[in-house]
Amino acid sequence: MSSSIANETVAATSGQEGFSFYRLVTNIYFLYAVSLCTFFLLWDRVAAWQVFGDSLARPHAVAGKLYDLSQVKFAGTNLAGHIWASTRRVLVGFTLASAIAVPLGLFMALNKYVNAVVKPIFDLFKPMPPIAWVSISILWFGVGEFSKIFIIAIGTFVPCLLNSYNGIRLIEPELYDVIRVLGGNRKDEILQVSFPASFPAIFAGLQISLSIAWTCLLAAELMNARNGMGFLIKRGMDTHQPALVLGGMVLIALMAWLSSLLISRIESRLCPWKRSIDNL
Amino acid sequence: MNPSTDEPQLKILCEDINKTFIQKGHIEVPVIRDINLQVAENEFLVVLGPGQCGKSTLLRIIAGLERPDTGYVALDGFPITGPGPDRGVVFQGYMLFAWRTVLGNVEMGLKLRGVPARERRSVARHYIRLVGLEDFENHYPHQLSGGMKQRVGIARAYANSPKVMLLDEPFGQLDAQTRMFMQHETVRIWEQEKRTVIFVTNNIDEALFLADRIILMEGKLPGRIKQEYVVNLPRPRDHEDPGLLKLRTTIAAATELVL
Amino acid sequence: MAYEEVVVKKPLLLRILPFVSVGVFLLLWEWVVVSGIVPSVLLAPPSKVFTLFIDKLSEPNPDGAVLAVHAWTSLQEAFIGYGLSLLVGIPLGLAMGWFKIVEGLARPVFELIRPIPPIAWIPLTVFWFGIGLTGKVFIIWIAGIVPCVINSYVGVRMTQPTLIQMARTYGATDWQIFRQLCIPSALPMVFGALQIALAYCWTNLVGAELLAADTGLGYLITMGGRLGRPDIVVLGMVSVGISGAILGFIIDCLEKKLLAGIRR
C-alpha cells in the first residue's frame, strides 16, 4: 500500500507479494534503468534530429571521439596525457592550499589574536569568486602552469580554512571541561579534543574545495592552456566540434567524481568513528 | 556507615559561595548565593533541586570548572583553584570522546597523566569490568545505548582514582527503566569502590534511593540551600520502604512547584 | 526580572586589531605598487582603483559600458538563473525525497549531471544560444539547481518517521502527508539552500562572463586583462566581491525572516 513512498519504514513487508505491474514500476532499480535509457535515447534523438543544428553530438559519437583521442596524439599528447595534465594542476594547487589553509584555520580558531588579525583580511577576500582571479593571475604569472595552480589554490583556500575554523568553533565546550577535570592542560585540550573533533569538518571542507578546484581548473584552462581537459573543451568550442566538447565534459565529470570518492574513502579510513553517524 | 558514630573526616568544605553569571554580555544573573556545605569522607551526598536552581553550577565550582565570585572551597583542607584529577566528574550529556573507543575513553585520564600504556590499559579494563562493559571495550560511543554511554562516563571518572566523584544529573537523559537500573548499578559500584560522592539530580526518588544525606535547593534563582535531610536507611533500598516514603512526603512538601 | 546591567568589554587589543589588520593590508598594498616593488603593470594601488571607480560611473571606455551597466547585466543574469533554479530545483528535490517514482526517474540523470562543473557547459550554450542572456542564464541555472535539489531532498528525508506514522494512523493520504508534513519540516533545509545556491550562481556567473559575454562584471575583468589594465581587473574583482556580498546579505535577511515566519 505504501511502497511508492521513499522513506517509509513500514514498506518492508511488501516483499512477500507476487509479481505485479505496480510493483515493477515502483522498483527503484527498474526506475533507474528506465531513467538512464530515456536520458540517453532522448539525447541521441535530439542530436540525430538536429534540434540544435549540428551543435549536439550523439552519445556514440562522443564515445568514438574519446576512443580516437586515446589512440592518436592530439595537440602533442594522447588522452591520458591531457587527463594527467589537468589532474596534476588540481593536485598541486589543492595540496598547496589545503596544507596552508587547514592549519591556518585551526590556528585562527584556537588563538583569538591570530583570528583578530587574519579574519578581517580573509573576510575581504571571501565573497570574491575564485574565478574572478583568472585575469589577474594570467597578468601576474603569464600563461604557464603556475597561473592555473594559483587559481586552484585560491579557490581551494576559502572552504578549507572556513571549515577547519568552524570545525573547532562548533566543538561542545564541555568536552574541554572533561579534559581539564581528567587532569589535562591546554595542550591536551588541543591534541585530544580540538584536532580529532574537527576532523569531519575538515574533510567536509576538503570535499567542497575539491569540487571548486575542478571548476577553477576548467576556468583557467578554458581561458588559456595548451593541454588538459579544459583545453579539449576549448578546442572543441573554437573548431565547432560538439563531440570533443562533450567528451571533455564527460572526462572532467568523471575525474571530479573519482577524486571526491577518493576523499570519502580516505576519510572513512581515518575516522572510523564517523562512519555510522552518517548512516543513521 | 552511620556518620554520627565514627566521627567522619571532612572532605569538602564550601563557605559562603556566591556566583553571578553575565548573560548576553550585560545582564547579571545571580546563580547561587551563600552556599555553605560540608561533605564527609565516603559520604554519598545528593543535591536535589528542580530545573534551574544553580545546582549544576555548584558542582562545577567544586570541580574547579567555575570560580566562585566570593567564598571558599576546599578539598582536604586545601583550597580548590582549578580542575584536577582528584575530582572525577560525570557529565549529564555523557561527553564521551566520539573518536575514541570505550577503552580509549576510560584510559584518557591516565594517559593525560603520563601513565605507561600497559599499566593504564589494565587499570582501564578493571573499571570497564566494574561497570559491566567488558564486551564493548573496542566499541565507539555511537554504537552504545544511553545507559552504556553513561557507564563509560562513570568508568572514565573512576579510572583516574579521584578522591571525590561529582555526578551532574548523570541519568537525566535515560528512560525510567534504565535510570532505575543505573541507580542500582551506582550503589553497587559505590559499595565496591567507596568514594565521596556528590550527586546532582532533580528526581526525588533517585535522591532517596542513593543518598546518605540530601541537600534540597530552593526552586528558583539564585540558588540557596533550603533544607537538609539525613537518610539513615540500609542499602540496597526499596522504593516502597515506609521510612523512605515518609521522608519522601516531607521532602515533597518542602519542594515548591515551579511552573 | 530586574537584573543589574553591566558592560563587559572585549580587551582593547582585540577590538582594535581587526581595523589595524585591514588598514595595514591596504597601506601595504598601496605602498608595494607606488614604491615600484611590484610593477604597476601587474597591480593597481587601491587609490587608483578608487579613482577608476569614480570615473567608471560615467565613462564607458575602454570596455564599452559604464559600471552600472555591467553590474546590471550581471545582476539580471544572476537573478533570472537563480530564480529558475529555485523554481525547478526545490519542487524537484522535495518530490524526489517523497515519491519513489520521481526519485527513481530523476536521480540517475541528476547524478550524471552533478559532477560536471557548470562552466563546462559554456561551449555548448554558446553553440546553442549564442553569447546573449539565455546561455548564461542556463549555466547559472545548472549551477544553482544542484544545492536546491540536494537540500530539499535531504530535508524531506529527515522528516521524523514517527510523525509520518502518526499521520498514517489518522488516515492521511500520501499526498496529504507530503504537503502538510514533509514540506513544512523540510523548509529549514530548503532555506539553507538559498544561500549556497546563490554563492554557486554568482561564482559561475563570473566564469560564464569571462568567456562568453560583451557586458557584465566578469567581462569587465576579462577586458581589463586583455587590455593589460590591472586597475580595471581589480575594480571588476572588487565589484564582483561587493555585489556578491550584498546579495548574500539580502538572502541572509530573507532567510531569517522566513525561518522566523515558520517558527511562529
State the smallest CA–CA distance between residue A29 and chain B in angstroms. Answer: 31
Q: Is the pLDDT of residue B2 over 70?
A: no
Provide the number of structural domains found in chain A: 2
State the smallest CA–CA distance between residue C2 and chain A in angstroms. Answer: 29
Q: How far is CA C61 from CA B10, C132, C240, in A?
A: 87, 21, 19
Q: Is there a domain that residue C80 lies in? A: yes
* pLDDT at site A277: 43
Neighbours of C115 (CB within 10 A): 21
Q: Is the pLDDT of residue B168 over 70?
A: yes
Burial B210-236 (b: 16+ CB within 10 A, else e): bbbbbbbbbbbbbbebbeebebebeee
State whether A140 and A182 are in the same domain: yes
* pLDDT at site B28: 81
* pLDDT at site C261: 75
Going residue by residue through chain A, which has 280 residues, state the pLDDT in tens, using 9 for 90 and above: 344 555 444 444 444 455 677 777 778 888 899 999 999 999 999 888 888 878 888 888 899 988 888 888 887 888 889 999 999 999 999 999 999 999 999 999 999 889 888 888 888 888 888 888 988 888 888 888 899 999 999 999 999 999 999 999 889 889 999 999 998 889 999 999 999 999 989 999 999 999 999 999 999 998 888 888 999 999 998 898 889 999 999 999 999 999 999 999 998 888 887 655 443 3
Provide the number of structural domains found in chain C: 1
Query: At what angle are helices A79-110 and A59-71 packed, to 10 degrees?
Result: 100
- By Cβ distance, the residue of C13, C109, C222 closest to A135 is C222
Per-chain mean pLDDT for chain B: 87
Q: Domain ranges in chain B?
A: 10-86+162-254
Whether C3 and B27 lie within 8 Å, measured CB to CB: yes
* pLDDT at site A144: 84
Query: Is A54 in the B-facing interface, judged by CB distances under 8 Å?
Result: no
Q: Is there a domain that residue A62 lies in? A: no
Q: Is there a domain that residue A3 lies in? A: no
Q: Is there a domain that residue C250 lies in? A: yes
User: The whole model's pTM is what?
Assistant: 0.84
Cell numbers at A97, concatenated: 592550499
Maximum Cα interatomic distance, chain A, rounded to a whole number of Å = 75
Q: Is there a domain that residue C158 lies in? A: yes
State whether A231 and A189 are in the same domain: yes
Answer for the pair C103, C157: CB distance below 8 angstroms, yes or no.
no
Share of chain B above pLDDT 90, in %: 37
State whether A37 and A80 are in the same domain: no
Query: Is B7 in the C-facing interface, judged by CB distances under 8 Å?
Result: no
Q: Which residues contact B77 (CB under 8 A, 6 or more apart)?
A: B10, B13
Q: Which residues contact C187 (CB under 8 A, 6 or more apart)?
A: C155, C258, C262
Q: Which residues contact B113 (CB under 8 A, 6 or more apart)?
A: A183, B85, B160
Q: Is there a domain that residue C55 lies in? A: no
Domain holding C197: CATH number? 1.10.3720.10
Contacts of A136 in chain C (CB under 8 A): 43, 221, 225, 230, 233-234, 237
Query: What distance, in Å, lies between the first and last C-alpha atoms of chain C?
Result: 25
State whether A257 and A206 are in the same domain: yes
Q: Is there a domain that residue A270 lies in? A: yes
How far, in Å, CA of A109 to CA of A103, rounded? 10
Confidence class for position C45, pLDDT limits 50, 70, 90: confident
Q: Is there a domain that residue C6 lies in? A: no
Q: Which residues contact A22 (CB under 8 A, 6 or more apart)?
A: none
* pLDDT at site B197: 93
Q: Is the pLDDT of residue C157 over 70?
A: yes
State whether A164 and A212 are in the same domain: yes
Q: Is there a domain that residue C145 lies in? A: yes
Per-chain mean pLDDT for chain C: 86
* pLDDT at site B102: 94
* pLDDT at site A18: 58
How far, in Å, CA of B58 to CA of B223, rounded? 9
How far, in Å, CA of C220 to CA of C206, rounded? 10
* pLDDT at site A280: 34
Q: Which residue of A has its CA nearest to B63?
A: A181
Share of chain B above pLDDT 70, in %: 95
Maximum Cα interatomic distance, chain C, rounded to a whole number of Å = 78
State whether A20 and A78 are in the same domain: no
Whether A116 and C14 lie within 8 Å, measured CB to CB: yes
State whether A141 and A30 are in the same domain: no
Q: Is there a domain that residue A165 lies in? A: yes
How far, in Å, CA of C5 to CA of B211, rounded? 40
Q: Is there a domain that residue A5 lies in? A: no
How far, in Å, CA of C10 to CA of B208, rounded? 46
Q: Is there a domain that residue C68 lies in? A: no
How far, in Å, CA of B215 to CA of B218, rounded? 10
Contacts of B27 in chain C (CB under 8 A): 3-5
SS (H, E, C) chain A: CCCCECCCCHHHHHHHCCCCHHHHHCCHHHHHHHHHHHHHHHHHHHHHCCCCCCCCCCHHHHHHHHHHHHHCCECCECHHHHHHHHHHHHHHHHHHHHHHHHHHHHHHHHCHHHHHHHHHHHHHHCCCCHHHHHHHHHHHHCCCHHHHHHHHHHHHHHHHHHHHHHHHHCCCHHHHHHHHHCCCCHHHHHHHHHHHHHHHHHHHHHHHHHHHHHHHHHHHHHHCCCCCHHHHHHHHHHCCCHHHHHHHHHHHHHHHHHHHHHHHHHHHHHCCCCHHHHCC
ipTM surpassing 0.95, yes or no? Answer: no
State whether A126 and A260 are in the same domain: yes
State whether A38 and A149 are in the same domain: no
Query: At what angle are helices A112-125 and A145-169 packed, to 10 degrees?
Result: 130
State whether A155 and A225 are in the same domain: yes
Cis upstream peptide for A120 (omega within 30°): no
Contacts of A179 in chain B (CB under 8 A): 108, 112
Q: Is there a domain that residue C9 lies in? A: no
State whether A33 and A100 are in the same domain: no
Helix (H) or strand (E) holding B104: helix B102-106
Confidence class for position B239, pLDDT limits 50, 70, 90: confident
* 3-class DSSP state of B75: strand
* pLDDT at site C159: 85
* pLDDT at site C5: 52
Q: Which residues contact B136 (CB under 8 A, 6 or more apart)?
A: B102, B128, B143, B144, B148
Contacts of C127 in chain A (CB under 8 A): 52-53, 55-56, 237, 240, 242, 245
Domain of residue C80 covers 74-263
Domain of residue A202 covers 69-278
Whether C237 and A124 lie within 8 Å, measured CB to CB: no
Q: For residue range B22-79, what is the model confidence (pLDDT) as tens digits?
A: 876 677 888 888 889 999 999 999 999 887 778 888 999 999 998 898 989 999 989 9
How far, in Å, CA of A268 to CA of A273, rounded? 8
State whether A47 and A77 are in the same domain: no
Q: Is the pLDDT of residue B147 over 50?
A: yes
The stretch C26-47 carries a mean pLDDT of 86
Q: Fold for domain B10-86+162-254?
A: Rossmann fold (3.40.50)
